[in-house]
Amino acid sequence: MQTNFTESQLADPDTAVANQVLRSCVHCGLCTATCPTFQLLGDELDSPRGRIYLIKDMLETNRPATEEVVLHVDRCLSCLSCMTTCPSGVHYMHLVDHARAYIERTYRRPLAERLIRGVLGWIIPRPRVFRLALAGARLVAPLARLIPGQSMLARRLRAMLALAPANVPGPDPNEGPRLYPASGPRKARVALLAGCAQQVLAPEINAATIRLLTRLGCEVVVAKGAGCCGSLNHHMGQHTPAMTLAWTNIEAWSREIDKDGLDAVVINASGCGTTVKDYGFMFRTEPAANRNKAELISGLAVDITELLTRIGYTPTRPKPGLTVAYHSACSLQHGQQITNEPKALLRKAGFRVVEPAEGHLCCGSAGTYNMLQPDIATRLRTRKLRNIAKTKPDLVAAGNIGCITQLSGDALPVVHTVALLDWMAGGPRPEGVPCVA
């Protein structure tokens, strides 16, 4: 597609990347077909192609972001379904990430919105604060229906309170940096991204991951200093905090590499995985030493199901006789193009795996999306749950805490893939999962 940037505009490295992405788009429109918001809203402006065009026009004219552009870019889930569909290889993620940062820089949101985004961007990456906030939310949740009105703010507040789980687990005694030795001879040494929100909401996921990996001969290190991957801030366009968090992780893992080497950085929340795998790109304009470190970490980053496929997984329990609807998290299937590994592992573990229709569509979770865009998120959730129900499963498995939270609370238990794999390899039965048939 034709672009209109001046030489001086292109001198800016971010604009140069945007130009490259835009040039690779041929405006064929295939991406519209698999975009969740286009499916629901039926407006070119809420499709990837429309957003690309809005962003292109905004960048070409050097215009500060306007309300119209912000509306439609905000509605993007960053599910990256469009990237799976695109035959021309348009890197939509880099374009929309840039646009979000550009918006944050040039657009002044209404006060209430700034507050919400600021608060979310500050609380969620900090587990202790987040845990306190959840407990508080729990206390006031019954008041949610008292929040009056249909304003976006009111709906967002109600959505946030609705998402707060009924029981917030207390801090895991094992939370924090630690080394978990391999049982038996050490076959590999990996760093686990302990993450932020996940270890508060569902500490059992990290526990299952560590149990399973150590049992399979991995030494697992939760590195000192590593924490939130930065994606939450990144996706809200909060560039500086995102880069700070990312760099903290890069440094923490680099120290582990220097200490005893690392075979992989393993991630069990696929939303984070997509971002860690992009660290190399995020630090592309940094001095070579930093850039190289970031690239090295990105190269080591693997999803837990990739790692298990690589090192080999075998169940030890008899077949559970359960049907699992596998929900493919967008960050796994589109962001990281991982589609077969989780299903193959679940089958190997002895589950019957079914795949709901419209598997390419996002469930509406998308980081903070279900709090910031509650209407669209709810419609997507309903649609997803309906498709899952049609497959008549006993439970749902997903590889991302966001999806698990979003889809929970309906008729079916929703658990992390790794928890099921751990169970079948000798770990405890995940909570809510029916007994072996």
Partner 1 sequence: MITLPDPKPDVLARRDAVIAGLRAAVADAEGVIGDPISLKPYETDGLSAYRQMPLAVALPESTEEVAAIMRFCHANGVRVVPRGAGTSLSGGALPMADAVVVGLMRMNQILDINYADRCATVQAGVTNIGITNAVSDEGFFYAPDPSSQLACMIGGNVNMNSGGAHCLKYGVTANNLLGLKIVTVDGEILDIGGEHLDAAGYDWLGLLTGSEGQLALVTEITVRILRSPEGARAMLAGFASNEIAGACVDSIISSGIIPVALEFMDRPAIHACEAFAHAGYPLDAEAMLIIEVEGSVAEQDDLLARLSAICNRHNPMSLKVSRSVEESLAIWKGRKGAFGAIGRISPDYLCMDGVIPTSKLPDVLRRIQEMSDSYGLKVANIFHAGDGNLHPLIMFDANDPTSFHKAETFGAEILKLCVEVGGCLTGEHGVGVEKRDLMPFQFAEHELEQQRRIKSAFDPDWLLNPSKVFPLRAPAALPRAA
Structure tokens belonging to residue 88: 């021309």
CB of 344 to partner 1, least distance (A): 15
CB of 75 to partner 1, least distance (A): 11
Closest to partner 1 by CB, 69 or 414: 69
CB of 265 to partner 1, least distance (A): 28
Distance CA 374, CA 159 (A): 6
Closest to partner 1 by CB, 56 or 416: 56
Distance CA 61, CA 23 (A): 16
What one-character-per-residue DSSP string does 176-226 give? SSEEEPPSSS--EEEEE---SHHHHH-HHHHHHHHHHHHHTTEEEEE-TT-
CB of 26 to partner 1, least distance (A): 4
**Rounded (10°) angle between helices 92-106 and 48-60:** 50
Dihedral of the alpha carbons of 364, 368, 372, 377, in degrees to the nearest 10 = 10
In a 3-state reduction of DSSP, which class is residue 325? strand
Name, in order, each residue with C-beta under 8 angstroms of 139's C-beta and a sequence gap of 6 or more: none
Closest to partner 1 by CB, 255 or 347: 347
DSSP state of 430: P
Distance CA 258, CA 224 (A): 13
Task: Show the site string, 88-127: x = touches partner 1 by CB under 8 A, - = not.
Answer: xx--------------------------------------
Task: Show the site string, 15-54: x = touches partner 1 by CB under 8 A, - = not.
Answer: --------xxxxxxxxxxxx---xx-xxxxx---xx--xx
What CA–CA distances, in Å, run from 370 to 55, 102, 206, 354, 375? 23, 22, 24, 26, 8
Distance CA 427, CA 211 (A): 7
2 lies in the site for partner 1, by CB under 8 A: yes
CB of 328 to partner 1, least distance (A): 17
Closest to partner 1 by CB, 26 or 139: 26
Total residues contacting partner 1 by CB under 8 A comes to 37
The strand pairing partners of 353, in sequence order, are 324
Closest to partner 1 by CB, 42 or 434: 42
Closest to partner 1 by CB, 31 or 346: 31
CB of 334 to partner 1, least distance (A): 15
CB of 325 to partner 1, least distance (A): 17
Which of these ranges, 83-91, 115-123, 179-187, 343-351, lies near partner 1 under the rule CB under 8 A?
83-91
Burial of 132 (0-12, 13-18, 19+ CB in 10 A): middle
Closest to partner 1 by CB, 39 or 254: 39
Interface positions, 55-74, toward partner 1 (CB under 8 A): 57, 66, 68-69, 72
Which of these ranges, 82-90, 202-210, 345-353, 364-372, lies near partner 1 under the rule CB under 8 A?
82-90
Interface positions, 350-389, toward partner 1 (CB under 8 A): 357
Place of tokens 């429109």: 29
Closest to partner 1 by CB, 24 or 292: 24
**Cβ atoms within 10 Å of 410's Cβ, excluding its own:** 14
Q: Do residues 275 and 230 make contact, with C-beta atoms less than 8 angstroms apart?
A: yes
Sign of CA dihedral 120, 121, 122, 123: positive
CB of 202 to partner 1, least distance (A): 34
Closest to partner 1 by CB, 20 or 292: 20
Site for partner 1, rule CB under 8 A: 1-3, 23-34, 38-39, 41-45, 49-50, 53-54, 57, 66, 68-69, 72, 85-89, 357
